[in-house]
Amino acid sequence: MGAEVNPCIESGCRGGCCRNIFMVDRRTKVEASFPGAIEVKPEEMPGLGDMAKGVYYIDHPTKNIPDGVYALIQGRCPNLGPLGSCAIYESNMRPHSCENFQRGSVDCNDIRYVLKLHPARTI
C-alpha cells in the first residue's frame, strides 16, 4: 500500500476543516474515533473557545440517529497529523461528518477563504 494521496493537502490545505468543529454522529462512532472524548451535560457543552482543547459530546438522539451525539472538536482534531493527514481517514472509524465533507464544497471553500487559500474544485 502506497502513501496516502490527499487531494486537500495537494491543494495547499492542512486540515482547515479538522479543527474547531461541531458534528452529529452515532455515539459508538464518536467514542471509537476519539477515545479521549469527554461526555458532558448539555448545560456544560462548551462553545468554541470556551474549553481546553479536546473532544466533547452530549446525547443528541434524532429520528435518523437514535443513539446520536452532538460532538465538539475544540482545537485540532486529535487524529490530524502534523502535515494535515488524517490518521483514521482510511478506516471505518472516520466519523460520518468527515466522510460527507467534500473538497470543493461551499463549506470547504468558506474555510479555504478564511485561511487565504484559493478555492478548491470538487473531486
pLDDT tens for 66-79 read 999 999 999 999 99
Check residue 79 and give its pLDDT: 93
Q: For residues 11 and 67, which has the higher predicted lDDT (pLDDT)?
A: 67
Q: Which of 26-30, 40-44, 111-115 has the lowest mean pLDDT?
A: 40-44
What span, in angstroms and rounded, lies between the C-alpha atoms of 70 and 24?
5
> pTM of the prediction?
0.79
Q: For residues 50 and 87, which has the higher predicted lDDT (pLDDT)?
A: 87
Q: Which helix (H) or strand (E) holds 107?
A: helix 106-114
